[in-house]
Amino acid sequence: MEMYEAVVVGAGPAGCMLAQTAGKRCNILLVESRDLHVPVEEGREKSCGGLLNPTAQETLAKLGLALPKEVLESPQVFAIRAIDYDTNQERYYPKHYININRGAFDRWMLSEALISPRVELCDRTTVVGYTPYTDYVEVTLRGADGVTRQIKTRYLVGADGAASLVRRRLEQKYCGPDEPRFPIRRYVSLQQWFPMEEELPYYVALFDQRVTDYYSWMIPKGGQVILGAAIPEGKNVRGRFQYLKHRVRATGFSLGTPEREQGAILLRPYGPGSVYLGKGRVFLAGEAAGLISASSEEGISYALSSGTALGEALLRRGTPEETEDLYRKRVMKLRWGLAIKSMKSIIMYDPKLRGAVFRSGLLSMNVK
């Protein structure tokens, strides 16, 4: 059986940055269940709003990476129109996101990872289980043909996103009744893509407790408009989304017939206590670790930073304890950031407090 330094589950931003960093000197197998050979235009990318916030932009800058133009999506807009149905108010806020095509972004990240000489990619392959031993982890892979095989690795990394199998199995194994758990909320996020019938020169954030205790959004993208919502799992997601569409149309937005739909699980941390970085020879990075903003659903910057941090820790080739210690230190700043976002979210998602902020006009701007 071949032995890798690390098997990385998931070729999203966390997995790609990890492979790119550690793959300079360590043998890395990057496993991805999607078919990465189908053209991006077929639209099988991860469900995402595809907005790069200033922190993600800064992270890319620190990594010495510049976005190629194929990743950009039009239009690039610079304001958010926030509509609060709970208190019947609306405001505009300046916002400096970069609007991207998420499929193209992921492919570009992958091409950056594959520049590192020791990265091997295995797509159309799913990690279906693993067993940690003292000196290695045995990982079970299932190929597109349904055939399973085992491989050995010194470390296993779950960069497998919100529905992480690696995290689930770790929690089942190690979080017994006497061990601390890492509670995290799960949402179902539904997005529908509509033909653009009128110009939308801003992003829209929608707050309505009848839809969700989180938020909904509209994003203009490449001649279409995405309407999306993150709704608590198990809370009549479809019915609430229908209600949202009705609300949005009643506000005057013209939405025709949706051309496509995407669904995904989205995690919402309570705070730094929701972050689980792994145990022993099994680590977690990106959203699988619970690293995603609790106030805005933005997770790309956390994925890039945590993937890089774990990649750097693995490069040292230390013991599992040394690797974990180094990784923990490097993500400390991310945890602080998450704590701040969690505090912000208390204000943003309490209708009374949010209503008071809207009334004050704090940080808002006038738009013609």
Ligand X SMILES: Cc1cc2nc3c(=O)[nH]c(=O)nc-3n(C[C@H](O)[C@H](O)[C@H](O)COP(=O)(O)OP(=O)(O)OC[C@H]3O[C@@H](n4cnc5c(N)ncnc54)[C@H](O)[C@@H]3O)c2cc1C
Find the part of the chain contacting ligand X (CB under 6 A) among 145-153, 274-282, 297-305, 360-368: 297-305
Q: Nearer to ligand X by C-beta: 290 or 320?
A: 290
CB 341, CB 294: distance < 8 Å: yes
CB of 267 to ligand X, least distance (A): 8
CB contact at 8 A, 56 and 327 = no
Task: State which residue has the least CB distance to ligand X.
Answer: 299
Cα torsion angle, 13, 14, 15, 19, sign = positive
Q: Which of 8, 11, 151, 227 binds ligand X (CB under 6 A)?
A: 11
User: Among residues 132, 220, 299, 337, which is the contact residue for ligand X, using CB under 6 A?
Assistant: 299
Q: Which stretch binds ligand X (CB under 6 A): 129-137, 194-202, 242-250, 282-290?
A: 282-290
Question: Does 165 sit near ligand X (CB under 6 A)?
Answer: yes
Q: Which two tokens stand for residue 185?
A: 């909320």
Given the rule CB under 6 A, which of 22-30, 132-140, 240-248, 293-301 is the region that contacts ligand X?
A: 293-301
By beta-carbon proximity to ligand X, the closer residue of 75 and 355 is 75
Position among 7, 30, 83, 159 found at the interface with ligand X (CB under 6 A):
159
CB 257 to ligand X: min, Å: 20
Q: Which of 286, 290, 311, 320 binds ligand X (CB under 6 A)?
A: 286
Residue 334 in tokens: 């991310």
Which burial class, exposed, middle or buried, applies to 252 when counting CB atoms under 10 A from its CB (0-12, 13-18, 19+)?
exposed
Task: Give the containing element (helix H, strand E) for 111.
Answer: helix 102-115
- Residues, the chain: 368
CA 303 to chain centre: 7
For residue 220, what are the contacts with CB-CB under 8 A and spacing of at least 6? 75, 77, 99, 196, 199, 200, 201, 203
Candidates 129-137, 155-163, 177-185, 323-331: pick the segment binding ligand X (CB under 6 A): 155-163
Stretch that binds ligand X, among 77-85, 208-216, 274-282, 285-293 (CB under 6 A): 285-293
Query: Is the peptide bond preceding residue 75 cis, with omega within 30 degrees of 0?
Result: yes
| Helix or strand holding residue 122 (H, E) | strand 119-122
Interface residue list for ligand X (CB under 6 A): 9-15, 31-34, 46-51, 56, 126-127, 159-161, 165, 189, 191, 228, 264, 266, 286-288, 292, 297-300, 303
